Structure 1
Amino acid sequence: MIILTQKIHLESNHQPNLTIFLTAEERTKIRQTIEIKEQNSDNITLLKLNLSRGEFLNTEDILSNDEGSFFVKIKAKLEPVITVKSDSKLNLLKAAYHLGNRHVSLEIGEHYLRFSPDHVLESMLMKLGLNIYEESAPFFPEFGAYKH
């Protein structure tokens, strides 16, 4: 088991030992164990994340063990999402209001909103006249006002 305890800046002449793909929810967990199955093999590597309280993971972050001898790059995993679009920014604002009122994890882009699939929310947004698209994409919900 490899225990990853810190986020670091990796010098450009070094390559990470491993790149892992995590969903938005997995990127919020600073303490978890991840099983990595090697391709064309039955070998499994266990990674234990044990980061400091208050940390969070972003895509492109590099994690390291205490010795600085093993490096893991974090990438956003493709996951099922609903993307909401409209020609009207006001309608997108209204949609963001209604989704926020339901405490939905929400990615906010300049021309779209994105959230995890939920048929009730999709129906509500279609009734408001918004365009709904089922996609598989990296998901980057807002962390909230108190996390930077």
Structure 2
Amino acid sequence: MDVGLIVLDHRLRSEELSPNGSLSVMELPLSAHQRTVLRGRRRTACGREVLLQLPRERALMPGDRLTDSHEQLHVLVTAAPEELLRVEAATPLALLEAAYHLGNRHVALELHEHELLLLDDSVLATMLNGRGLKVTRCCRPFMPEGGAYIGHQHS
């Protein structure tokens, strides 16, 4: 293992957070997909390499704090900006139909009252434009819906 590589193997619960703020805190920007993969090398916002070795409990969420076995530092998970499509419609029904068609293709979606966000995909952009929807590109953090079975476990 690399010297200086930080191994993050523990999620901190809110009651474990240091109230005095004396610990070093680094930010770990992750894409929506990276937040679902709990093992592997990543790079903090300041360029420090870390190795995730977390229990497979649930996906990481922005705001989660991770630490090493010595709890010498805290790493704050943030949502990294991603290249997205922003979909708007003239009517709520047209936006609902777009969500239906994208969901039928198992596309990860971030849902809002007046817009849908999805990862940039030229084929989907063409399909949505063909349905008369306004499609624009943007770069921002992506927080897709977790799905109907989030938190579901088999006994």
For residues 7 and 107 of structure 1, the distance between their equivalents in structure 2, rounded to whole angstroms, comes to 25
Which TM-score applies when normalising by structure 1? 0.87
Number of positions where the alignment pairs a residue of Structure 1 with one of Structure 2: 143
Gaps of 5+ in 2: none
2:31 match:
23
Q: In 1, Cα distance between the equivalents of 2:124 and 2:45?
A: 36
2:150 corresponds to which residue?
147
Q: 1:6 aligns with which of 2, 5, 10?
A: 10
Deviation at 1:16, TM superposition (A): 4.7
Partner of 1:56: 59
Q: Does 1:134 align with 2:137?
A: yes
1:11, distance to aligned residue in structure 2 (A): 3.6
Distance in 1 (CA, whole Å) between partners of 2:142 and 2:105 is 18
Aligned-residue offset at 1:36: 4.4
- Please state if 1:118 is matched with 2:121: yes
The sequence identity of aligned pairs, in percent, is 36
Q: Deviations over 1:67-116 (max 9, x none)?
A: 22221001111111001012311111100110011111111112211111
User: Could you list the runs of 5+ residues in structure 1 that have no partner in the other structure?
Assistant: 39-43
> Residues 7 and 99 from structure 1, CA distance in 2 versus in 1: closer, same or farther, beyond 3 angstroms?
same
- Aligned to 1:115, the other structure's residue is in SS state strand
Deviations 1:109-130 (Å, cap 9, x if unpaired)?
1221111111111111112111
Please say if residues 16 and 73 of structure 1, whose CA atoms lie closer than 8 Å, have aligned partners that are also in contact: no
The residue that corresponds to 2:104 in the other structure is 101
Mapped partners of 1:136, 1:80: distance in 2? 5
SS in structure 2 of the partner of residue 92 of structure 1? helix
Contact persistence 2:43–2:50 (CA under 8 A): yes
